Amino acid sequence: MAPLDSTIASNLFTIGAERLALLGKHHKALMQGYLDGFIDETAFSEAALKKLIAARILWRPDEQQALALRPLVSELIASMVADENRRQINADVAEKLEQIRNRVQAYRDAQYKGDYSVAELQLQRLTEQVHDLSGQFEEAIDSLWHRLNSDFGFVASLDDKIRENERAQKQLRRLLDGLDLLDFNELIELAEGNSHLRKLLVSQLQSQLSSHHSSLLEVQKRLVELLAKFRQQQARSLLITNMAAFLRQHPKYQPADYPNRSELPPLFNQAATIVPKAAIALDNASERQILAELVRNLPRQQGVILTETPSASFSQQWQDDVIAARQQALKTDVENFYLRVIDHGGKLSALDYLLQQQLEWDSEIWLYQIIAEYQALPVDEKQMFAIKRDEAPASSTNQLLLIRDISLSLNAQAA
């Protein structure tokens, strides 16, 4: 095993010493929690509890459960005091499931005999074993995250990083195989009609394992992303290494001047033809007349002739097409009004133009559309026109201004 860097070793020594000191400082309360199966929070100050949780000595298996010792801490104490009832010789998932089955049977036997104190003790031990099983997966997932955040940064080469990634993926596969061993149909049969067992073996465990599945999915995504990144870096590194080796073997090699060659290799001749783009300069006053001529010569859309049809036979699609056609016809007539102002100049009244052209639009809709088209123009095109509203109050008692008419002219002539 390679020696650790002095800074890393110093950090590990400091953290380890502090956490061992925490175990020694609170040894009585922690040992009592080991015997009781839960931690009496009143025996600690709030600051001490935060330190013990942060030091990964205590944890809360569930929001509704009391604090308990971490599974590894419980196993350490069991090994030191030779407590064979709690000592976990084999940490395999299948072994833990077998212990849970045996504990459930012992709990049911005690209940059947009427020995409720023993049954309560067996239920407590069963609760600890279920939480230990969930805690085993949580510890393994934390170990995976630690490997992602630390081990990949300490190895020197890309090949080592890829090997670390493969090791992490194998550990992830073992965890998923361990989760697959949990058969909830069997656990439901073990719980039968007992509410305590059903909540412990089904509800809580299923919620915890669902969280573990989500965490493993995130770990797997991260591993795949890192592996793709490492493979990409490895390919680039290999290309540079091979190029450097080629240059060492051919020190007089000079890259060819491909731009000056008459015939390029197909690999370099991939550029598409550049198509120049052109546009009318709207800010150039000399081109406005040309633009007006082009717009006036554009083919105009023919209006839709509506025929009377019984409303009961109208389909929704047909009605939408009719509405769209009327809106387009109104827009086209308003555009012609603007073109008339550009062509002939002078000041033109909107209502007078409506009468002259014999358009069948409501005067209010007509004025509204002219204002809307003006508001939709770009800023530089708005400056071409001068719009004047003929407004009057609604009545002698109502000072709300109503637009009676609109006059439009070119700015140069209006001035």
Q: Residue 338: exposed, middle, or buried by beta-carbon count in 10 A (0-12, 13-18, 19+)?
A: buried
Q: Among residues 219, 218, 233, which one has the least CA distance to residue 160?
A: 233
pLDDT for residue 91: 45
Identify the sign of the CA torsion 386, 387, 390, 391. Answer: negative
Distance of CA 345 to the CA centre of its chain: 57
pLDDT for residue 414: 41
Question: Using CA atoms, how far apart are residues 408 and 350, in angstroms rounded to an integer?
Answer: 8
Q: Among residues 178, 157, 176, which one has the least CA distance to residue 216?
A: 176
The token pair at 116 is 């409720």
Count other C-beta atoms under 10 Å from residue 350's C-beta. 22
Q: Where are the domains of the chain?
A: 7-87, 90-253, 285-301+314-414
Give the single-character DSSP code of 50.
Answer: H
Give mean pLDDT in consecutive 10-residue pieces for the chain, a chain of 415 residues. 59 84 86 83 86 85 79 77 50 76 85 83 83 80 76 68 81 82 82 81 82 84 82 85 90 77 70 74 74 81 57 60 81 86 82 85 84 82 82 76 83 53
Q: 198 - beta bridge partners? A: none
Question: Using CA atoms, how far apart are residues 315 and 267, in angstroms rounded to an integer?
Answer: 58
Question: Using CA atoms, how far apart are residues 67 and 63, in angstroms rounded to an integer?
Answer: 9
3-state secondary structure of 403: strand
Residue 276: its H or E element: none
pLDDT for residue 399: 72
